Structure 1
Amino acid sequence: MIRQAVIWNCCLLVLGLWISPSLTQAAADSNAYLTISVKSSPAATCSTSLTFKQRHWVDLFQNPSFEQSSRTCTFPAAYLSFYSEGNTIHYLADEQGCIFDATGQQQLKISHNTRRKLQAYLQLLKKKHYGELLPWEEVQTLLPRKATFEIIDLETGLRFRAQRRAGSKHADVQPLTRHDTKIMKEIYQGKWSWKRRAILVHIDNRLIAASMHGMPHGRGVLSNGFPGHFCVHFLESTTHRTQTLDPTHQVMVYKAAGQLAEYLSKADPYDLVDIFIMALNQHDQYLLQQLLPPDEQTKWGVFFNNWADLQYVYKVSKLEKKPAHDLLYLEVPVKIQLYWKNRGKETRQLTFTLMRPSPAERWSVNCDLLSSGES
């Protein structure tokens, strides 16, 4: 998102492919073109894109051929759009440079050389779009108390200035001015919230992957119309009260670094339960879909279409943790409170079911929320 244009253009020339000078749209006289976009989720309005008008790419998508493959695209690395004769066809690409239809189920037949070139472009786009995964100990040297910096919301691209005021285990931060407070509130759709968001911290020409919530609390000293401060977390930062990692912040840090899939594949199963509850609370359909087993997607899809009534989810009980290193199946009971727009508060005892094919593979997560009353 923020890099020197000269360096960016030189990197593209090294790859040996001609690209449209515009990164957002093809020239007006082009009949067909391909746009490759990197963004943090399908719904994100902030993206970094390249547009191709080369005959090679146009021919590939004007006459697509699909092959038999067991591969699917669960975590898209990029979103491809092919424009031709007034029509738009969407595709997905994974980290290996494989291309799939919009469902992620059918793989496009492409040459090894094309896959290699696409991988190279994806790496360049990701470096431009996402932030560095930098540990909190290192961030503190870049971000001392009273340092001012810019926060960029990765989903919307909205940005505002902020200042670190305090915090030893993570950064306690305030918007710099009333105008910055206004932009921050716009990011949260006009209502302060504890919801976590993936952000980039821009300081000293560097973009650092981070996570913030949007709820004023504690003290605030700046004349900015923000009644308190908010928290910004980085890799390996902890809460001040418990001095433990907050998985709901850490997952957003990895998302801001473009490494959401890697984090979920290695996460502790109990952390995944917390992340599942957070995703429910934040109506984060994309994150929930990454956690759910494939055969549960359809059933939950109906819930996603009607979950505006669910306003808030709160975990009441602490998780009873036991060693799970060698387990393939795990049930985790959790008491939660749900706040419904039309029904008020409701307390339920839910069971979260976690499964994986082998200890080397990632957990999938499901819960009996739907079978226990909601559909």
Structure 2
Amino acid sequence: MKRKGFIIFCLLSLTSISVSVSAAPAKVLETITFTIQSTPVSDFQSELTIYPASREKILAGSVVKSADAMPVSDTYATLKQAGSADNGTTYIVDKDYNLYDPAGQKILTLTEKKKEKLRRHIEALRSRHYGELLPWKVARQVIPRKDKVEVIDLETGLRFHVQRRAGQDHADVQPLTKEDTRIMKEIYKGSWSWKRRAILVRAGNRYYAASMNGMPHGGDGIPGNEFDGHSCIHFAGSTTHGSHSEDTGHQLMTYRAAGLLRDYINQASPAQLVDAFVLAMNQNDPQVLDLITYPHNAHFVQDLHTQMQDIDAVTKVTKTKNRQEMPAPDPGLLMVQIKEELAVTREGSSRARKGMFSFTISRDKSDMPWRITEISTGDHQKEQKP
């Protein structure tokens, strides 16, 4: 069962021999706690604590080097003395199961044998934390109309219940009760919003990866739930009612809920990266921003992070056609440019400023993922009323 602070105590060794607590020698003073959280600030976390051998044995044979930057990750490993009030040392675990020490700006590369043991523990924990990636054509059968399911917000861990009321292209849902509506609004900090959020949908004893918005709209109604209309839940491959095309923001959040955000971005087209940039800036999502930009251009990325803190909203001025129907770049191309007119509202301002933005999107080799490497603005910018 998923819940905040989910902890498993596992008596498995990181050395080649598994030992029980009662049989452990006196030198066994160290524990490792693995933590999975979808973003660095998520309250919804899953933890697995194991009792290995001493720190020296855990890190024996590792190669230590200086780290230029910390990786984007949802996985952490904390080493500490068993029973100690000290917080221990927390490492960021990257996709290749290397350990990064943020305090010392170091990277520890473990032996392949120890990496494999880490991988087994971490993957087991990830499978408990995240949801199954379920295509919409299957999800609509698993959760038919009038079915009631539980929604878990992947950021706060808050839970509420909804009923699927309608929807051919995605699920149109409503909170079941007034209390469910209150919890949903709390997730959106007291104000209804179109912003996409990664969620888990529990149907029976299965958890599915999905995305929701928090804006009541349209018709329909459950008497007494104090929710005027319905809201939307998207699954993998679901589309919007109007365009019948996938919404990149909802897909990003769905793949985040499945623990596959990096995978989605790595296969994204240049046009989808522009959509992801708009979502990142509009929703103040540093993790998505870091994944879609070129990591070695530190000044460029840091400047975007600084600007993000001063932005209240970013939207596209004109709707673009279905990203899936747009022609893919020539397979041999290593750089493309896309222009997009955006409306940007700064913090404390009631007016949006429109401007043309030119995105340079590059990759080092034809079989590598695209990344945004440069963004420039046109000369014309004008204010518009919101």
State the TM-score bracket (shorter-chain normalisation).
0.7 to 0.9
How many aligned residue pairs are there? Answer: 359
RMSD between superposed Cα atoms in Å: 3.2
Deviations 1:231-280 (A, max 9, x none): 00001111111111111111111111111111111112111111111110
CA contact (8 A) 2:161 2:180 kept: yes
Residue 81 (structure 1) shift: 2.0
| Aligned with residue 363 of structure 1, among 339, 363, 370 | 370
Label 1:333 to 1:103 Cα distance change in 2 as closer, same or farther (>3 A).
farther
Residue in 1 that maps onto 2:353: 346
Label 1:10 to 1:184 Cα distance change in 2 as closer, same or farther (>3 A).
same
Deviations 1:26-64 (A, max 9, x none): xxxx965321111111111111111133224x3357889
Matches within 5 A, 1:45-124: 45-56=43-54, 58-60=55-57, 66-68=63-65, 74-84=71-81, 86-102=86-102, 106-124=106-124
| Aligned with residue 328 of structure 2, among 300, 319, 323 | 323
* Distance in 2 between residues matched to 1:83 and 1:338, nearest whole Å: 46
Label 1:129 to 1:325 Cα distance change in 2 as closer, same or farther (>3 A).
farther
Residue 72 (structure 1) shift: 7.7
Letter in 1 for 2:276: I
Residue 339 (structure 1) shift: 1.2
Percent identity of equivalent pairs? 36
Letter in 2 for 1:209: A
Residue in 2 that maps onto 1:169: 169
Residue 202 (structure 1) shift: 0.1
TM-score, normalised relative to structure 2: 0.83
* Distance in 1 between residues matched to 2:42 and 2:379, nearest whole Å: 32
Matches within 5 A, 1:151-170: 151-170=151-170
Q: Secondary structure at the match of 1:208?
A: strand
Residue 297 (structure 1) shift: 3.5
Residue 91 (structure 1) shift: 0.9
CA contact (8 A) 1:319 1:333 kept: no
Q: Determine whether 1:332 maps to 2:318.
A: no
CA contact (8 A) 1:71 1:107 kept: no
CA contact (8 A) 2:341 2:357 kept: yes
**Which sections of structure 1, spanning at least 5 residues, go unmatched?**
21-29
Q: Name the structure with the higher helix share.
A: 1
CA contact (8 A) 1:169 1:237 kept: yes
Label 1:130 to 1:281 Cα distance change in 2 as closer, same or farther (>3 A).
same
Letter in 2 for 1:353: T
Q: Secondary structure at the match of 2:44?
A: coil
TM-score, normalised relative to structure 1: 0.85
Residue in 1 that maps onto 2:25: none
Letter in 1 for 2:125: L
| Aligned with residue 31 of structure 2, among 30, 33, 57 | 33
* Distance in 1 between residues matched to 2:58 and 2:306, nearest whole Å: 32
* Distance in 2 between residues matched to 1:336 and 1:371, nearest whole Å: 11
Label 1:166 to 1:302 Cα distance change in 2 as closer, same or farther (>3 A).
same
Q: Secondary structure at the match of 1:235?
A: coil
CA contact (8 A) 2:165 2:173 kept: yes
